[in-house]
C-alpha cells in the first residue's frame, strides 16, 4: 500500500510514500518504548533545554514549513507561518512551566510524609488530522515529552511531509532519536498499534466516528484516551452587541484555514432587532476575503484539503437550500482547477437542514434567526457538539454569565472568537470529546497521578 499526496490547489500528484510494514511498525514501537526507559529519568532542566531548541528549529524553518503546509493541504502562507510560531510558543511555554506543573504536591495526613507525584506513563500514540498539521501535533507533543513520555504520531495520510518534518524538528533539536517517531500507516493499522502492550495511551483529534473507534479499541485494552472531536460552534449576537465588531470577528473565525477548523464559528444566532444589520456587515466582511492559490501572499482563503471534502460540503449546502435556506453569497463550485469552495453565507437556517444539524467543515456560514435571547441560548445548545461557543454583547457581566452558566461547551468566549492558547485548557463535551489539552490540565492527562504515603 502507498500513501498518495495530491496538491489540493492544482490536483497534481506530488509524491507517494510506501506504508510501513507490520515489522517496521513493531520495531518503531519497541525503539520508542526503549527510549522512554531512559528519557523518563532525564531532569526537567535538560528536557526544557531541548524543548527550547525545538522552538528555535521551528522559527528557523518557519517559511519552509509554511510552504509545506500550503502545498500539502492548502493553508495560506501567512496562516502557516502563524501556526509554526504558535507551536514554538507552546514549546517555550512547557519548557518554562512543566517542572512546576508536575511538582509533587504535599498533602497533610497522619503519615510522616504524604504527597501526590506525577510520573510519565510511557509511549503515547497521537492520531492527528490534516487541518493544522503542525499545531495539532505540538499541543500533544510538547507537554507529553516534557512530562517524560515518548510519542508516536499517526498523521493524516494527506500530510506525510508535515508528519516527517515534525519528527525532524525534535531530532534537529537534539532529542533522543526515538523520543518522537512518525508512523506512515493508514487508518486501518491504528487499532493494532493501540493494542500493542508497549503503547500506554492514545490521543486523537478528528471526527466523532474516528474518536469512537479509537476510544473503543483503547477501552478494550483499558488504556487512557483524550479525544478532541468535531464542533459546530454557535456565536450569539445579542441585541445590544456591537454588530460591526461581531460580524468581523465571526467572519475571521469562520474563514480560518478555509473554514476547516473544529473551533471555527459555524452557526450565527441573531434576533430580529439586529439581524438585517448583522447580515449586511457579515456579507461585507466575507466579500472582502480573497480566495486563491495559498502560495500567493495576497490570498486569504485557500482550497479545501481534498476534492471529496469539497464535494461533501457542497452537498450539505445544496440540501440545506432545498430544505428552505437562502443563499446570500457563494454556494457554487468554481469552474477552475483545485478543491476550491467560495466563502458562502446561508440564512433562514432551521432544524432539519444540514447547515443546522451537521458540522460544516469549510467556509460556509449558517445564520439562524431566533425571536429572543432565551431561544438563542436554546438553539446554541441544540447540537450534539460542545467544543466552543461565543456571545457578543455590550453587557460584559451578562455575557460572562451566559458563557459560564448557560452555554454547554468546553471553551466559551465573550466578544471575541474562540481560539486555543497554551495557557488555557482546550477540549469539549458531548460528541466533541473528552479530556483536555494545553495548560497544566493538559500535561497531567498522560501521567500517573501517584499517591506516596510514608509512615
Q: In the predicted model, what is the mean pLDDT of residues 368-376?
A: 98
Residue at 179 is within a domain: yes
Q: Mind listing the pLDDT tens digit for each residue in 13-56? A: 989 999 999 999 999 999 999 999 999 999 999 999 999 999 99
C-alpha 52/C-alpha 164 separation (Å) is 20
pLDDT reported for residue 52? 98
Q: Mind listing the pLDDT tens digit for each residue in 170-180? A: 999 999 999 99
What is the DSSP pairing of strand 224-228 with strand 385-386? unpaired
Q: Mind listing the pLDDT tens digit for each residue in 199-248? A: 999 999 999 999 999 999 999 999 999 999 999 999 999 999 999 999 99
pLDDT higher than 90, residue 388: yes
Residue at 340 is within a domain: yes
User: Looking up cell 521551528, which residue turns up?
Assistant: 58
Show the DSSP H helices in 174-274 as ranges.
190-195, 208-220, 243-254
Query: In terms of residue numbers, what domain contains 336?
Result: 233-421
> Grid coordinates representing 296?
500567493
Mean pLDDT rounded to a whole number for the chain: 97
State the CATH number of the domain containing residue 254: 3.40.309.10
Q: What percent of the chain has pLDDT over 70?
A: 100
C-alpha 49/C-alpha 167 separation (Å) is 17
Q: Are residues 345 and 198 in the same domain?
A: no
Q: Are residues 199 and 262 in the same domain?
A: no
> Grid coordinates representing 263?
473551533
Q: Are residues 39 and 112 in the same domain?
A: yes
Q: Mind listing the pLDDT tens digit for each residue in 234-286? A: 999 999 999 999 999 999 999 999 999 999 999 999 999 999 999 999 999 99
Q: Are residues 72 and 200 in the same domain?
A: yes
Burial of 229 (0-12, 13-18, 19+ CB in 10 A): buried
Q: Are residues 243 and 215 in the same domain?
A: no
> Grid coordinates representing 183?
508512523
Residue at 184 is within a domain: yes
- Determine the 3-state secondary structure of 17 from DSSP: strand
Q: Are residues 58 and 202 in the same domain?
A: yes
Confidence of residue 4 (pLDDT cuts 50, 70, 90): confident
User: Which residues, 6 or more positions from 303, have their beta carbon under 8 angstroms from its beta carbon?
Assistant: 8, 9, 74, 258, 294, 310, 338, 339, 340, 341
Residue at 12 is within a domain: yes
> What total of structural domains would you count in the chain?
2
Inter-residue contact 328 to 278 (CB < 8 Å): no
DSSP designation for 21? P
Residue at 163 is within a domain: yes
Q: Are residues 322 and 185 in the same domain?
A: no
Residue at 427 is within a domain: no
Confidence of residue 337 (pLDDT cuts 50, 70, 90): very high
Confidence of residue 1 (pLDDT cuts 50, 70, 90): confident
Residue at 51 is within a domain: yes
pLDDT reported for residue 301? 98
Cα distances from 414 to residues 48, 242, 264, 399, in angstroms, run 34, 12, 15, 6
> Grid coordinates representing 89?
510558543
C-alpha 408/C-alpha 395 separation (Å) is 20
Q: Are residues 95 and 242 in the same domain?
A: no
What is the DSSP pairing of strand 233-237 with strand 265-270? parallel
Q: Are residues 411 and 438 in the same domain?
A: no
> Grid coordinates representing 430?
458531548
Cα Dmax for the chain: 76
Q: Give Rg (Cα) of the chain.
A: 23
State the CATH number of the domain containing residue 447: 3.40.605.10
pLDDT reported for residue 392? 98
Residue at 87 is within a domain: yes
What is the DSSP pairing of strand 364-369 with strand 344-347? parallel
Q: In the predicted model, what is the mean pLDDT of residues 318-345?
A: 97
Confidence of residue 354 (pLDDT cuts 50, 70, 90): very high
C-alpha 338/C-alpha 334 separation (Å) is 9
C-alpha 314/C-alpha 401 separation (Å) is 37
C-alpha 329/C-alpha 287 separation (Å) is 8
Q: How many CB atoms lie within 10 A of CB 98?
A: 22
| Residues labelled as active-site residues | 228, 262
Q: Are residues 160 and 27 in the same domain?
A: yes
DSSP 80-121: HHHHHHHHHHHHHHHHHHHHHHTS-EE--SSSSEEEEEEEE-
Q: Are residues 263 and 189 in the same domain?
A: no
Q: Are residues 246 and 214 in the same domain?
A: no
Amino acid at each position: 500500500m502507498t500513501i498518495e499526496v495530491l496538491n489540493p490547489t492544482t490536483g497534481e500528484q506530488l509524491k507517494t510514500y510506501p506504508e510501513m510494514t507490520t515489522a517496521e511498525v513493531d520495531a518503531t514501537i519497541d525503539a520508542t518504548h526503549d527510549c522512554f526507559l531512559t528519557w523518563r529519568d532525564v531532569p526537567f532542566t535538560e528536557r526544557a533545554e531541548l524543548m527550547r531548541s525545538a522552538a528555535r528549529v521551528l522559527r528557523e524553518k518557519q517559511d519552509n514549513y509554511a510552504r509545506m503546509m500550503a502545498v500539502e493541504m492548502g493553508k495560506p502562507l501567512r496562516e502557516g507561518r502563524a501556526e509554526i510560531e504558535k507551536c514554538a510558543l507552546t514549546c517555550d511555554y512547557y519548557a518554562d512551566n512543566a517542572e512546576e506543573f508536575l511538582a509533587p504536591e504535599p498533602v497533610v495526613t497522619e503519615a510522616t510524609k504524604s504527597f501526590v507525584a506525577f510520573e510519565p506513563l510511557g509511549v503515547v500514540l497521537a492520531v492527528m488530522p490534516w487541518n493544522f498539521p503542525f499545531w495539532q501535533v505540538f499541543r500533544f507533543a510538547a507537554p507529553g515529552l516534557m512530562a517524560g513520555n515518548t510519542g508516536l504520531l499517526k498523521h493524516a495520510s494527506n500530510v506525510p511531509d508535515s508528519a516527517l518534518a515534525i519528527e525532524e524538528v525534535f531530532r534537529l533539536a537534539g532529542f533522543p532519536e526515538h523520543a518522537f517517531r512518525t508512523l506512515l500507516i493508514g487508518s486501518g493499522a491504528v487499532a493494532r498499534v493501540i493494542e500493542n502492550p508497549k503503547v500506554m495511551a492514545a490521543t486523537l483529534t478528528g471526527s466523532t466516528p474516528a474518536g469512537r473507534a479509537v476510544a473503543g479499541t483503547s477501552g478494550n485494552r483499558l488504556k487512557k484516551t483524550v479525544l478532541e472531536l468535531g464542533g459546530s460552534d454557535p456565536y450569539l449576537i445579542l441585541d445590544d452587541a456591537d454588530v460591526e465588531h461581531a460580524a468581523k470577528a465571526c467572519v475571521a473565525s469562520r474563514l480560518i484555514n478555509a473554514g476547516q477548523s473544529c473551533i471555527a464559528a459555524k452557526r450565527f444566532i441573531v434576533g430580529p432587532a439586529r439581524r438585517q444589520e448583522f447580515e449586511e456587515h457579515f456579507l461585507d466582511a466575507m466579500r472582502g476575503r480573497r480566495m486563491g492559490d495559498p502560495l500567493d501572499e495576497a490570498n486569504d482563503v485557500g482550497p479545501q484539503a481534498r476534492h471529496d471534502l469539497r464535494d461533501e460540503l457542497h452537498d450539505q449546502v445544496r440540501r440545506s437550500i432545498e430544505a428552505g435556506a437562502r443563499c446570500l453569497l457563494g454556494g457554487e463550485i468554481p469552474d477552475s482547477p483545485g478543491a476550491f469552495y467560495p466563502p458562502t453565507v446561508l440564512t433562514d437556517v432551521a432544524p432539519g437542514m444540514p447547515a443546522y444539524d451537521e458540522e460544516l467543515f469549510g467556509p460556509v456560514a449558517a445564520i439562524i434567526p431566533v425571536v429572543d435571547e432565551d431561544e438563542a441560548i436554546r438553539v446554541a445548545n441544540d447540537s450534539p457538539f460542545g467544543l466552543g461557543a461565543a456571545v457578543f454583547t455590550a453587557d460584559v457581566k451578562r455575557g460572562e454569565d451566559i458563557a459560564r452558566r448557560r452555554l454547554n461547551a468546553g471553551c466559551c468566549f465573550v466578544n471575541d472568537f474562540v481560539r486555543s492558547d497554551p495557557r488555557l485548557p482546550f477540549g469539549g463535551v458531548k460528541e466533541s470529546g473528552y479530556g483536555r489539552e494545553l495548560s497544566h490540565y493538559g500535561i497531567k492527562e498522560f501521567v500517573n497521578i501517584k499517591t506516596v504515603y510514608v509512615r
